Amino acid sequence: MIANPEPSTLPGMTTVIIFTMLKLSGLSIRLGGRLVVDDVNLTVEPGQTVGLIGGSGSGKTLTALGVLGLLPGAAHAEGHIGLGGIELCGAPERRLRQVRGCRIGFVGQDALAALNPLATIGRHLCIPLRRHRGLNRREAARAAGDLLERVGLAADTVRAYPAQLSGGQRQRAAIALAVAGRPGLLIADEPTSALDPPNQAGILDLLRALPPAADGRPTALLLISHDLAVVARLCDRIAVMHDGCLVEQGDTAELIAAPSHPYTRALVASARALAA
């Protein structure tokens, strides 16, 4: 099932098909009859970092859960969710399972909730390393240590249980888990909001230098946040959600220099006041 191919001809070369990493077209989500995400159009190109920003309840998390096919039971999504040319909206669970962890990684706010308290970090990591990268047990154990070092943890963290790590270390382990399958896209939903400022800065630095995707290209990032300063620090583009609608999007510097929607103007003004 192919969605949204974008043919492109390079001078003197044959026609190639370039797919956007993620393309949401007319995505709407209803929850118990209430429209909570309203006709969202958003693209993330390979390797791009896009910030999805908005106030509490504006629909950011449900948009992300819609992409992952993890909406609450009462919710229903309509429209198109194209991932590298594959349509995910309404896709069968079997296909979504192939995509999660392998094509799309996810990290949330609460690493403790994401990790099994009774399993070591190494055991967590071995699942995607074996399932999505086809490594055997020994290779996966070695790759887990390498991956932990890549996210700023000691390789012997493989033997630690989640409760034995600090909040910042746990979030690093959760990011390692999210990218273990070398996805092309990582969705990070408020990944720093439960951390103190030094750990927040460390996680943002890590998100800026993620391990590459399976095809060797930089991993694209969809960063969900209510904090304009966080998003501005990391993202090439910003999309602003308000009351379920995507009200404005654009290049980060341009959007901050000249916000057009009243909600974005208020966001920029309050970020400036905080920074002053």
By the criterion CB under 6 A, which residues form the site for ligand ATP? Answer: 31, 36, 54, 56-62, 72, 226
Identity of the residue, 23 or 60, whose beta carbon is nearer to ligand ATP in the bound complex: 60
Residues 6+ apart with CB under 8 A from 50: 42, 44, 220, 221, 222, 223, 235, 236, 237, 238, 239
Supply angle C-alpha 29, 180, 164, rounded to 5. Answer: 100
Write down the residue that tokens 């904090």 correspond to. 227
Cβ at position 88, least distance to ligand ATP in Å:
18
Identity of the residue, 53 or 83, whose beta carbon is nearer to ligand ATP in the bound complex: 53
Identity of the residue, 76 or 150, whose beta carbon is nearer to ligand ATP in the bound complex: 76
Supply angle C-alpha 250, 197, 226, rounded to 5. Answer: 35
> Residue 97 corresponds to which tokens in the numbers above?
């399972």
Identity of the residue, 46 or 59, whose beta carbon is nearer to ligand ATP in the bound complex: 59
Cβ at position 226, least distance to ligand ATP in Å:
5
Residues 6+ apart with CB under 8 A from 35: 28, 29, 244
Cβ at position 132, least distance to ligand ATP in Å:
27
Cβ at position 230, least distance to ligand ATP in Å:
13
Cβ at position 176, least distance to ligand ATP in Å:
24
> Residue 246 corresponds to which tokens in the numbers above?
């995507």
Identity of the residue, 126 or 188, whose beta carbon is nearer to ligand ATP in the bound complex: 188
Q: How far apart are CA 105 and CA 129, in angstroms?
A: 13
For residue 104, give the nearest of 220, 235, 231, 234 by alpha carbon.
Answer: 220
Cβ at position 108, least distance to ligand ATP in Å:
10
Determine phi and psi for 107, rounding to 5 degrees.
-135, 135
**245 near 29, Cβ under 8 Å?**
no
Q: How far apart are CA 123 and CA 80, in angstroms?
A: 35
Q: In angstroms, how far is the first alpha carbon of the chain from the final one?
A: 51
Identity of the residue, 20 or 63, whose beta carbon is nearer to ligand ATP in the bound complex: 63
Identity of the residue, 46 or 54, whose beta carbon is nearer to ligand ATP in the bound complex: 54
Residue in the shown chain whose Cβ atom is closest to ligand ATP: 61
Cβ at position 115, least distance to ligand ATP in Å:
20
